[in-house]
Amino acid sequence: MPNKRIVITGLGIISPNGIGVDDFSRAVFNGESGIKPITLFDTADFKAKTAGEVINFEPAKFLGDKGLRVLDRSTKLLNSAARLALDDAGLDITEENSRETGVVIGTNLGSLKSISDYDREAILEGPRYVNPALFPNTVVNAPASQVSIRFNIKGFNVTISTGFTSGLESINYALNAIRLGRAKTVLAGAVEELCIQTFIGFYKLGCLAGTKNNSIELSCPFDKRRNGLVFGEGSCVLVLEDLDSALYRNAKIYAEVKAGATAFEPAGLGRYNLNSEGLSRAMDQALKGSGLSSKDIGYISSAANSTVDADLYETKSIKNIFKDYAKKVKISALKSMLGESFSASASFQVASAALAIKKQIIPPTINYQDKDFDCDLDFVLGDGCEENIDNCLVNAFGPFGENAGLIISKFK
Amino acid sequence: MQDIDNEIRNLVAEIIEKDPSEVGGEARFIEDLGVDSMMALEILAALEKKYKIAIPEDKLAEFTTLNSIIKVAKQYIAASQTNA
């Protein structure tokens, strides 16, 4: 593949701790949590009551009043993030560049509520009386498709559903598409919405924090008290662009995306396999693809989500690859502030890593109090820390065997 | 029957995202009001649900103005009341 350089030129963020780059950045670097009591549905019947919910979200502000009535929350979150990303990149979609622009979005649970609502109407009112305009929302690629429709983007339109790694895989797809000459610019991102359907699913599987006896409901990655994840939601869209195109447009450049890698190692269903080498392989391949060694990495944006085995698995994997340097490399877990937003998590991580590289500051891991001696790495706490960051490794993985790593670097 | 006229005007206005006062009886749906085929399907399904009637889909071709919709709807509402 021709070795084209690819840069991030725009960020669109609709997150639990801020909407837009400025709000998100201020919150993340100040260590402000976006996790609060859930308002989207009643939690009276559950032990878990908090989530990283996007509040004060007014889609009409980004998308106008018309045509929102039949779009579901995922679609509105994603389209709003896409609008912000295009604006941030200063990118106008025109007849000239439309076919050279692609859209690739990670989402897994995005259509669950729409399916449930659609079925509910059919059962309560009779199948004849369902609203046909709500049917398109029930398919998983509806949010991504609406981005292309709304912004008149005529290049490829792809939805990626690979579990917890979808946010990184969408960026990987974009890298490949640009390198193969299929696009000059790609909107790569992810979206998940918080709804009672997915909340109940994760709750009943026993994944949520604060649901076991005497456990604390807190997203505290790597902390001894961790006992499960706190749910999150939101959307993040990055504008990835061929460097020549970015320079030609005189676009601002946040960071360069070097290489991504994925590795699948089937584990027990829904259980982290602590002996799996999947994440190690993904990190190793991402480093090799970038032509870097582990010592070149100044910061790891961890995927740790406060689940006992997840955080341990990532610690072990980092030790595997980073060896002696493992305890020196700075690590931070964004999910301590945002919760676990599934597909969207990794996209938020990449956005915050791009901002970290731009500012040369590493955001903190919050809620860290009690040391777990099995997770003995150098976590950035408090107010974050200033650091020379040339290269950042972003990790993503889930309990089903999916693993991914991505390297982004200071643009030089 | 004036009530039904108003009900249908409000129902149509909500779906096509207009104020009811903007939806004149003879305003042409596509040319004047920007109604698309999905909205027309939605109007048909909403009428069926509201009045518990079944309107054959070939009647969609007659959904060109508010007045024509009211005419079709009343025809099927009357038929359902006769049958009941």
CB contact under 8 A, B49 and A133: no
- The interface residues of chain A toward chain B in range 107-146, judged by CB-CB distance below 8 A, are 125, 128-133
CA distance A133 to A146: 13
pLDDT tens figures, A153-207: 999 999 999 999 999 999 999 999 999 999 999 999 999 999 999 999 999 999 9
What is the torsion angle, in degrees rounded to the nearest 10, for the CA atoms of residue A7, residue A165, residue A39 and residue A223?
Answer: -100
Residue A145 has pLDDT above 90, yes or no: yes
Q: Do B42 and A131 touch (CB under 8 A)?
A: yes
Task: Give residue A348's pLDDT.
Answer: 98
- B40: distance to nearest CA of chain A, Å? 10
CB atoms A131 and B54 under 8 Å: no
- pLDDT recorded at residue A131: 92
pLDDT at B84 over 80: no
A132 → closest Cβ in B14, B17, B42: B42
The string of pLDDT tens digits covering residues A303-347 is 999 999 999 999 999 999 999 999 999 999 999 999 999 999 999
Cα separation, A336 vs A221, in Å, equals: 6
In three-state secondary structure terms, B63 is: coil
CB contact under 8 A, B42 and A69: no
Comparing alpha-carbon positions, the chain A residue that sits nearest to B35 is: A67
Cα gap A410→A290, rounded to integer Å: 13
Q: In this complex, do B38 and A69 lie within 8 Å of one another by their Cβ atoms? A: no
Question: Which phi and psi (to 5°) does residue A9 adopt?
Answer: -115, -5
Angle between helices A343-359 and A21-29 (to 10 degrees): 80
Measured between beta carbons, which residues in chain B are less than 8 angstroms from residue A131? 42, 45-46, 49
- Whether the CB-CB separation of A9 and A254 falls below 8 Å is answered with yes
Positive or negative: CA dihedral B58, B59, B62, B64: negative
Two structure tokens written together for A33:
């949590």
Of B14, B17, B49, the CB nearest to A129: B49
* pLDDT single digits (tens) A50-109: 999 999 999 999 999 888 999 999 999 999 999 999 999 999 999 999 999 999 999 999
Mind giving me the DSSP string for A62-114?
Answer: HH-STT-TT--HHHHHHHHHHHHHHHHHT----TTTGGGEEEEEE-SSTTHHH
Other beta carbons less than 10 A from residue A50's beta carbon: 20
pLDDT digits (tens, 9 = 90+) for A115-129: 999 999 999 999 989
- pLDDT, tens digit (0-9, with 9 covering 90-100), for B49-70: 999 999 998 999 999 999 999 9
Residues 6+ positions from B2 with CB-CB distance below 8 Å: none
Task: Please report the pLDDT score of residue A3 as a whole number.
Answer: 77
Model pLDDT, residue A268: 67
Name the percent of chain A lying above pLDDT 90: 92
Distant-in-sequence, close-in-space partners of A184: CB < 8 Å, separation ≥ 6: A97, A100, A101, A178, A241, A242, A245
> What is the band of B1 on the pLDDT scale with cuts at 50, 70, 90?
low
Give the pLDDT score at A213. Answer: 86
A374-381: average pLDDT = 96
Residue A7 and residue A288: Cα distance in Å, rounded? 19
- A27 within 8 A of A248, measured Cβ to Cβ: no
Long-range (24+ apart) CB contacts under 8 A made by B55-60 are none
Q: Is the dihedral of CA A319, A321, A326, A331 positive or negative?
A: negative
Cα distances from A248 to residues A7, A109, A252, in angstroms, run: 13, 38, 11
Predicted TM-score (pTM) of this structure: 0.95
How many beta-carbon contacts under 8 Å exist across A and B?
26
How close B7 comes to chain A (CA, Å)? 18
Q: What ipTM did this prediction achieve? A: 0.83
N-term to C-term CA, chain A? 22
Tokens, residue B5: 């006229």
Task: Give pLDDT, residue A2.
Answer: 54
Q: What is the DSSP letter of A328?
A: T
Cβ contact B38–A131 (<8 Å): no
Percent of chain A with pLDDT over 70: 99
As a whole number of angstroms, the distance between CA A183 and CA B50 comes to 48
DSSP state for residue A223 in the 8-state scheme: B
How far apart CA A383 and CA A29 sit, in angstroms, is 7
Task: Please determine, for residue A275, whether its predicted confidence score (pLDDT) is greater than 60.
Answer: yes
Q: Where are the alpha helices (DSSP H) in A308-385?
A: 308-322, 335-338, 343-359
Reported confidence tier of residue A271, pLDDT bands at 50, 70, 90: confident
Mean pLDDT of A25-47: 97
When CB atoms are compared, the residue of B14, B17, B54 closest to A128 is B54
Residue A1: the pLDDT is: 53
Which of A129, A134, A137 is the best mutation test for B, with the most CBs of B within 10 A?
A129
Chain A contact present for B48, CB below 8 A: yes
